[in-house]
Amino acid sequence: MKDIEFELNSLEIHPNSEIKGIISVSYPGRYDGVVINTQIFDSNEHIIYKSYNQKNISQNVSRLFINKDVMPENKAEFTAQINFEPKQEHEVKFRVSIIEQHKEIESQIIFAKYSI
């Protein structure tokens, strides 16, 4: 098993649909948390994270850091949305990284498609 495992509920994303992700960390060393960065190719739009581990996020954030202290059993779940109406299909890159003292230890990347 890798130090970080990441999966999405679907690799086909549509406007205003809920995106769910699950992150599992098995890194044996000390770490501060995980960060999720997302890029929507050929677009200036952003993903909006709504919650993590059942806790709602009160402000719109396009980059999400989850502290290890709120990751029971080194696991995290998050929800997000993309709200704009695409005129074409976009590739969406999700990159989840383990962070230790402001440094990236390991990451995993998943690509999804965003369309109507």
Element (H, E) at 23: strand 19-25
Q: What is the pLDDT of residue 62?
A: 77
Q: What is the pLDDT of residue 1?
A: 65
Mean pLDDT of 69-84: 95
Q: What CATH code is assigned to 4-114? A: 2.60.40.10
21: number of CA atoms within 13 Å, CB side?
A: 32
Give the pLDDT band of residue 60 (cuts 50, 70, 90): confident
Q: Is the pLDDT assigned to residue 53 strictly greater than 90?
A: yes
Percent of the chain with pLDDT over 90: 88
